[in-house]
Amino acid sequence: MDLHFLGTGAGMPSKTRNTSALIVNLTAEGRGYWLFDCGEATQHQILHTSLKPRKIEKIFITHLHGDHLFGLPGLISSRSFLGGNEPLDIYGPAGLSTWLWSTLQLTNTHLNYELCIHEIAEEGIVIEDEDFLVRVKKLEHVIPCFGYRIEQKPLAGKLLIEKALAAGVPKGPLLKNLKEGQDVTLADGQVVLSEDVTGEPQQGFTIAILGDTKYCDASVELAEEADIVVHEATFDNETGNLAKDYGHSTIGDAAKVAKNANASALIANHISARFLPSDIAKLKKQGQETFENIYIAEDFACFEWRDGKLNEVKNTE
């Protein structure tokens, strides 16, 4: 799983940060891309990467402020031109459907795929299938805003191939079946149980992606024991009063959420344009006074999750 930050600014674009957009790349898990928020010019940001808009299969909008969704009509329109024919699911607060459909109809935008808009009516589970579970909770912003918790369900244990071969299983599709948790019957009638030739199930990852919010209990609950928490840090600790006035968080608030949730890593984003690149080290240091394992995301930053570890691996620009 990879995280690609396409926009990490707050309120409006700046020379160094675009408005909010984050892609969770699940192709290694047999899925496509899940996009969280879609600020203005998100599709322009994608042009500077190797990411393919047609692979976006789900979009999650945290709230209806423009810096989190003004890029949506253009992106979903371009997806048609770029070979995206598979259905697209969009999740978000009440009012999203009216705004988006009105925009598409008034501009006579034609889509080559099925667009399914799911307005979230209450907290709880919005997606559950055999591999993933997505929960939402209401955060504390100046308009209704959601945070999302993405849980990958436990993975099948590794196939102990030498043990399987010793049990008489021939090389080929039966090994694949055993790896996927299915018992198999050999040509001589012997049944080989998957649990006998596979290791213990492996824990999946958990990510909390939080929209704009003040420090609140809901953020901590969504982030509980998470491997990765993506949290806004619009202000530094010296401008905490402004954060409260505008329904936002300081870097200290974000760090407090990660600490109180016993999370493993924090990636701070939604950084105010008042902070120049030269200020980022100070911002990070303020957060580390509360929670050590902090990253400050920049536009086009990419983070890789492999074998239970998070690494900032490259710039996707």
* Residue 48 labelled as part of a binding site: no
Please indicate if the annotation marks 110 as binding a ligand. Answer: no
To the question of whether residue 44 is assigned a binding role by annotation, the answer is: no
Q: Which residues form the catalytic set? A: 67
Closest residue by Cα to residue 24 from 280, 234, 206: 206
- Provide φ and ψ at 135, rounded to 5°: -110, 155
Helix (H, G, I), strand (E, B) or coil at 251: helix
**What span, in angstroms and rounded, lies between the C-alpha atoms of 42 and 70?**
9
Name which of 19, 9, 20 is nearest 209 in CA terms.
20
Q: Please state, in angstroms and rounded to a whole number, the distance separating the CA atoms of residues 278 and 258.
A: 25
- Integer CA distances (angstroms), 217 to 192, 222, 257, 261, 287, in order: 48, 9, 8, 10, 19
Question: Was 118 annotated as part of a binding site?
Answer: no
Which amino acid belongs to residue 25?
Answer: N
- 231 labeled binding residue: no
User: Taking Cα atoms as reference points, which of 192, 182, 224 lies closest to residue 207?
Assistant: 224
68 is in an annotated binding site: yes
Known binding residue 212? Answer is: yes
Token pair listed for 124: 């709880």
- Known binding residues for Zn(2+): 63, 65, 67-68, 141, 212, 270
- Known binding residues: 63, 65, 67-68, 141, 212, 270
